[in-house]
């Protein structure tokens, strides 16, 4: 019988396979290691992501803000940006380009589908 798995969100993410088996994988900043399933974790962020946007073609991404403030900026669409406060949740639809701008240092819980996530390079002149 499988044993419970304790994990530290500062050093590990949970990979949920397509049949919902959970395993620890190393936590890292974007772009992350491709995982065939969903990754679940807590990101502690004080700076914007080191990319110019991301898109998840394998499914919707779910975000939940624990603390701080962040703005989700939608790219290539006329959808309004959404500012998140603690306690706010957000579903980003499959295939929508977006980025998360940090307004105050924050902790964000995420459930991100994979493995085919795409990232744009950061335009350092913006």
Which domain, by its residues, includes 95? 12-116
Q: Is residue 75 part of a domain?
A: yes
Q: What is the CATH number of the domain that holds 76?
A: 2.60.120.10
**CA 82 to mean position of chain CA atoms:** 15
Which residue would you say has higher pLDDT here, 20 or 126? 20
Q: Is residue 4 part of a domain?
A: no
Q: Is residue 94 part of a domain?
A: yes
**Dist CA 44 CA 25 (whole Å):** 17
pLDDT at 60: 98
pLDDT tens, residue by residue, 2-58: 889 888 888 888 999 999 999 988 877 666 778 899 999 999 999 998 899 999 999
pLDDT at 7: 85
pLDDT at 111: 95
Residue 4 burial by Cβ neighbours in a 10 Å radius (0-12, 13-18, 19+)? exposed
pLDDT at 11: 85
pLDDT tens, residue by residue, 80-119: 999 999 999 999 999 999 999 999 999 999 999 999 999 9
């Amino acid at each position: 019988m499988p044993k419970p798995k304790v994990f530290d969100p500062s050093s590990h993410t949970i990979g949920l396979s397509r049949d919902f088996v959970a395993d620890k994988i190393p936590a890292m900043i974007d772009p992350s290691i491709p995982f065939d399933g969903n990754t679940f974790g807590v990101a502690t962020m004080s700076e914007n992501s080191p990319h110019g946007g991301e898109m998840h073609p394998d499914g919707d991404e779910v975000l939940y803000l624990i603390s701080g403030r962040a703005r989700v900026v939608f790219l290539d669409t006329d959808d309004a940006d959404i500012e998140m406060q603690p306690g706010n949740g957000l579903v980003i639809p499959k295939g929508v380009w977006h980025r998360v701008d940090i307004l105050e240092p924050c902790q964000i819980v995420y459930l991100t589908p994979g493995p085919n996530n795409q990232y744009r390079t950061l335009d350092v002149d913006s």
